[in-house]
Amino acid sequence: MSEEKPTFKITDRRLFNPDGSPREDVVREEETPAPTPTAAAPENAAEPEPAPAAPESAAGGAAQAARERDAAAPAETAQEFLMLVEFVASFAADAMGMVNHAGEAGQEVNLPLARQCIDMLGSLREKTRGHLSAEEQRFLDMILSQLRMQYVSLTSAPRGGSPAGPRGFTGGDITGGR
């Protein structure tokens, strides 16, 4: 019983050499014109679709997918961005004891986690500067300033009293009551 072993052809699609210099023997996909979509003709129906090319890197593939999604549905993308900001902000609010959990007597404050979440939102703000709509920018700025004020109030508060309770803001303030 002899089994045929499949043969594979491995193609190096990296754009750069190990020393960081650009490779000259690689044809970049951006330089090749993309075929224009046409109505499916009966003779094209029998042709198999070519396998998708492997992404150059995980970040490159994600960036390409993001560009395609942005072109397809800008309103949906704006909503997804606002949800991302709310998602990270909710972790920061929870870490600062601003979220009431049903059935729990005391809220635990985790300032290192809160600071990490606030720093992530700050980094997101810096990296997206100039690429956000006015609504997205206002929302991110508002959330970030409220979280920073709450963090400062927790870190500068005297050590007496209940350090775990919320001070000043609530989770509803951060998420806009959503």
- Own/partner long-range contacts of 102-105 (Cβ < 8 Å, ≥24 apart): none
Cα 154 from Cα 119, distance rounded (Å): 16
| 8 A C-beta contact, residue 38 and residue 47 | no
Would you state the structure tokens that stand for residue 2, as one six-digit string? 């002899």
Backbone angles phi, psi at 16, to 5 degrees: -130, 150
Which of 85, 158, 150 has the alpha carbon at shortest distance from 111?
A: 150
Q: What is the pLDDT of residues 128-178, one digit of tens each?
A: 999 999 999 999 999 999 999 999 998 987 765 544 454 555 656 666 665
Put simply, whether the predicted model's pTM sits higher than 0.75 gets the answer: no
Q: What is the pLDDT of residues 20-71, one digit of tens each?
A: 777 777 665 554 555 555 554 445 445 555 555 544 444 556 666 666 655 5
**C-alpha neighbours within 13 Å on the C-beta side of residue 25:** 4
Q: What is the pLDDT of residues 67-91, one digit of tens each?
A: 665 555 577 788 899 999 999 999 9
How many other CB atoms sit within 10 Å of the CB of residue 168?
13
Cα 124 from Cα 28, distance rounded (Å): 30
**What does the pLDDT read at residue 86?**
94
| 8 A C-beta contact, residue 114 and residue 95 | yes
